Chains A and B, each alone.
Chain A
């Protein structure tokens, strides 16, 4: 079985190389030859890396895992676009048939103060985990649940909640935003949980604390450029910002001092 029957592509890559967080980085040029149009973008990088290793050079480091567009590990700026030119597609699901023979391709890591570069195309996205820690959950201790059908949820609400829950936490929204804001990521979680009855008891607390954490992590503010929505590989809508803003405003207006967690006595 051969895949190169459609004719291999020859490409010039310009890749951000940075040995570690402390070192300076720079763009380095590589030739990629005989690239099958059926390859994924990451498979193309695999081929380049095999060539680098064979001559004793350090391969290009990039995060990746499932290569099915769902784990959210991979992410890189490809010709200035988060995850590259194809809409609703992660870098691992982008295929080389999106490029032409002779193309120059510029590959860089996500750029944001809150996502420091670890090495080459690998960045530290742990700020996202800390935003979830601040309130992106429903506190439902294991074992305390009632029957699943005891909480009917309209199909419309469940579907809209699912649309927002589809976020894979890749960080493309932050990378695409001129302010490096994490608002779409945060709004997606607030929307997912806020649309469900299970999410109501902690709804306002959640919005308040997640937004506070977002600021603490040095993400920028949202000024509704809308670039996040364009870059999102899962099609998370900027409409989710409406839920976040409403919950945040209501939370600020109605905030009360919280009593001790265990209640009185």
Chain B
């Protein structure tokens, strides 16, 4: 396997313009002759499907939910970054680029990130034109808020529902194209296999989740926008349906998987309330604009109601340790700091796994009305879940798995190592390095879907000129048979344990050994235990019902079976990367709690090649070259 990043030559700021001119075009009359499959209908998938259809390509789009509008992008709360500099506070494309590379702890590609920062401004314009109701100032202009890891105010938002509003914009554009006949939408269809013919991605095998029918869908190119793999941990802020199956299958069929150990633990989530917990709920990072994070200075005070702990006995640890960024320190740093104080026994709430996020000062300064206007829906959500009123009592928060920076390896054109297989949004690895900054996921999903893939897909189609194939091709039949065989096997085990019980056990193991802090011996233990758990799964899981009906247990079983393999790759990657960077914190490599990168040995992207069942995957390295930013120790002090 050869990793060709295809980064254009020339000065950083000119690369994308130059590349756009050099790429081949498909003329308008020929576009309708090409068929592109898009899997996933989140921000990346919906925007890509709609835009490619507008250009004239025939598009088929797939989602497992009952409507494309339900994709998990809908749940993003806080905002979307863009280098508009509307606040006149010194922002620029260069600064957004620099903040993102630094925020990612120097483990992303300069050229991709610069392009992202350039495109960010077009995204806001596009979304406004679609009718996304962004927050406005009284003068009618767009409002901004601040987010972690930045000292400028560049985040655009729609109350606490920014993801929802951006997704509805993309969804409506998609529905417009469905009505026009440019996109054929397949709801409640799950991709279970990738079809490769003559070395090129030519289609997918899906299961119709209502009828159970296994179908083949063929095309000239395939685009995956299938999101991240945070549900490997069972408990995460991801929606219950989020899964790794599509990207893992692509990996098994030859696509390199990059940096699987780079996972983001978000610092502000509602703590777990019990063993029944099915998922965790995020409280937007935007709350850290006005909320102050603290724990008692002394362990002895932890049981007291927060109102009885006087000011001098509180430790505002983020403000103390990181005075220049304070409560707006980046996510990885804020999460680790929370873990640290809880490990010291100074955590609050049930089990001592929580810290306070306190709005008393902000309410005093701005009034209840302003706080309600900014965060009202989040406060309501918090109260609904915890039965505590955050206007009167500080919120309790604790870190939780939220996002995965790792993903399928892609080149500058967002194409994987399989020709014709493109990967967009959270499903690829490209822009966030080892830690994603807040409000950058929405930016990247829409950049990839609206403004990158519509250009690069044309270049691929014009240069590769795929030959027509039909559903009776031997490869298509073989792929369908492998899907059916796996399904038959899952249904036939008829063991004693439920799918969820395995998923919970895997999640617990991953959280303990490959979570916020990792070390070699823990990772080795996980690598020893995961295969055993997997073996037990394949012998003792029970999946009721049949394959010829709506069978939610069968859907889950297939996804958990893939997590049981994929999590091994996450641990292996974490073990191999003997440094701490961003969200990947190896306890052996630290300087008094701060991550210690090793640029000499690890300034590369780890791209793993599947070597076959039961064989160790092969590590390939894409060196990261920094020509424009100076590699430095990331400091927010």
Residues of A whose CB lies within 8 Å of any CB of B are 1-4, 19-20, 36, 38-40, 42-43, 46-47, 50, 53-54, 56-59, 61, 63-73, 86, 88-89, 93, 95, 97, 118-119, 122, 124-126, 128-129, 132-134, 136-149, 151-155, 158-159, 161-162, 165-166, 168-169, 192-193, 196, 198-199
Contact = CB atoms under 8 A, between A and B. Distances in A.
24 contacts: A39-B274, A40-B385, A43-B278, A53-B542, A54-B496, A67-B278, A71-B239, A73-B65, A89-B384, A118-B210, A132-B172, A134-B179, A138-B129, A142-B54, A143-B450, A144-B129, A145-B122, A145-B126, A155-B138, A161-B131, A162-B159, A166-B161, A166-B164, A193-B131
A162 B67 contact: no
Contact of A122 (B273, B279, B451, B550): B550
A155 B136 contact: yes
Interface string B440-481: 000000000011001000000000000000000000000000
A195 B366 CA distance: 29
Contacts of B164: 70, 166, 168
B173 interface: yes
Contacts of B168: 165
Contact of A154 (B74, B140, B172): B140
B65 A2 contact: no
B66 A138 contact: no
A54 B380 contact: no
B275 A148 contact: no
Interface string B122-163: 101111111101111111111000000000000000110100
B129 A158 contact: no
A68 B274 contact: no
B187 A2 contact: no
Contacts of B185: 129
Interface in B40-68: 47, 50-51, 54, 65-68
**Top 9 A-B residue pairs of the complex, sorted by shortest distance between their CB atoms:** A3-B274, A152-B140, A137-B172, A1-B351, A145-B129, A133-B179, A140-B129, A145-B125, A148-B128
Contacts of A126: 66-67, 187
Interface residues on B, range: 35 or more
Given A2-B275, A54-B498, A63 B66 contact: yes
B278 A59 contact: no
B189 interface: no
Nearest to A136: B172
A58 B545 contact: yes
B176 interface: yes
B65, B135, B176 pick with most chain A CB within 10 angstroms: B176
A2 B69 CA distance: 36
Given A122-B550, A198-B128, A70 B161 contact: yes
Nearest to A44: B276
Given A158-B133, A162-B158, A97 B387 contact: yes
B549 interface: yes
B173 A66 contact: no
Nearest to A72: B70
Interface of B: 47, 50-51, 54, 65-70, 72, 74-75, 84, 86, 122, 124-131, 133-142, 158-159, 161, 164-165, 168, 171-173, 175-176, 178-179, 185, 187, 210, 239-241, 272-279, 281-282, 350-351, 353, 380-381, 384-385, 387, 450-451, 454, 496, 498, 500-501, 542, 544-545, 549-550, 552-553
Contacts of B133: 158, 161-162, 165, 192, 196
Nearest to B454: A142
A189 to B, nearest CB: 8
Given A149-B86, A155-B136, A133 B67 contact: no
B66 A155 contact: no
Nearest to B242: A65
Contacts of A118: 210, 550
A42 B278 contact: yes
A44 to B, nearest CB: 8
Given A61-B550, A145-B125, A198-B129, A2 B240 contact: no
A36 B172 contact: no
A176 to B, nearest CB: 19
A74 to B, nearest CB: 10
Specify the main secondary structure of chain A where it touches its partner: loop
A19 B124 contact: no
Nearest to A45: B278
Contacts of A70: 74-75, 161, 164
A152 B141 contact: yes
A242 B239 CA distance: 35
Contacts, number: 230
B398 to A, nearest CB: 11
Given A40-B385, A53-B553, A162-B133, 14 more contacts: A46-B276, A53-B498, A53-B544, A65-B241, A71-B65, A133-B176, A134-B179, A138-B172, A142-B47, A142-B51, A142-B454, A162-B159, A165-B158, A198-B129
A17 to B, nearest CB: 13
* A3, A71, A89, A145 — most chain B CB neighbours (10 Å): A71
B54 A59 contact: no
A145 B125 CA distance: 6
B400 to A, nearest CB: 12
A138 B126 CA distance: 11
A149 to B, nearest CB: 5
Contacts of A42: 278
A65 B272 contact: no
Contacts of B542: 53-54, 56
Nearest to A129: B67
Contacts of B127: 148
A38 B278 CA distance: 12
A119 B549 contact: yes
A153 B140 contact: yes
B380 A88 contact: yes
Contacts of A136: 172, 175
Contact of B549 (A20, A46, A86): A20
A126 B553 CA distance: 23
Given A3-B275, A67-B279, A71-B74, A59 B552 contact: yes
B172 A66 contact: no
A68 B281 contact: yes
B385 A2 contact: no
A119 B134 CA distance: 38
A61 to B, nearest CB: 6
Contact of A141 (B54, B134, B138): B54
Nearest to A261: B180
B90 to A, nearest CB: 18
Given A1-B351, A53-B553, A162-B133, A65 B384 contact: no
A133 B72 contact: no
Most A-side CB within 10 Å, residue of B127, B351, B544: B544
Contacts of B84: 148-149
Nearest to A40: B278
B22 to A, nearest CB: 19
A143 B451 CA distance: 8
A138 B158 CA distance: 18
Given A151-B128, A165-B165, A192-B133, A142 B50 contact: yes
